[in-house]
Amino acid sequence: MARTASAAAAYIGARISAARKARSMTADQLAVASRIDSSNIRGYEAGRSLMNVHSLVRIAEALEVDAGELLQGVIAEMFVQER
């Protein structure tokens, strides 16, 4: 079973991935545009890790979306880590 940091990490990662694909960008292109290592981008999109606010804003700017759009639908209970 794939390990996720939390339901929030998986949800936000999926939103980043969808926004990136809607713009016909590769993960490597998003990495360059956001100045975040491509392995981190892949980890975020897979839900294996949750980025900090600074990285979220950099990703949103690279995708030309509001950071809030990537967070839309996130609720506090999603941050409880699964064991």
Q: What's the Rg (C-alpha) of the chain?
A: 12
* pLDDT confidence band for 1 (50 / 70 / 90): very low
44-80: per-residue pLDDT in tens? 999 999 999 999 999 999 999 999 999 999 999 998 7
pLDDT of residue 82: 58
> At which residue do the structure tokens 């998986």 appear?
10
> Model-level pTM?
0.90
CATH 3.30.56.10 fits 7-72, yes or no: no
Return the domain boundaries, the chain.
7-72
DSSP string, 10-37: HHHHHHHHHHHHHTT--HHHHHHHHT--
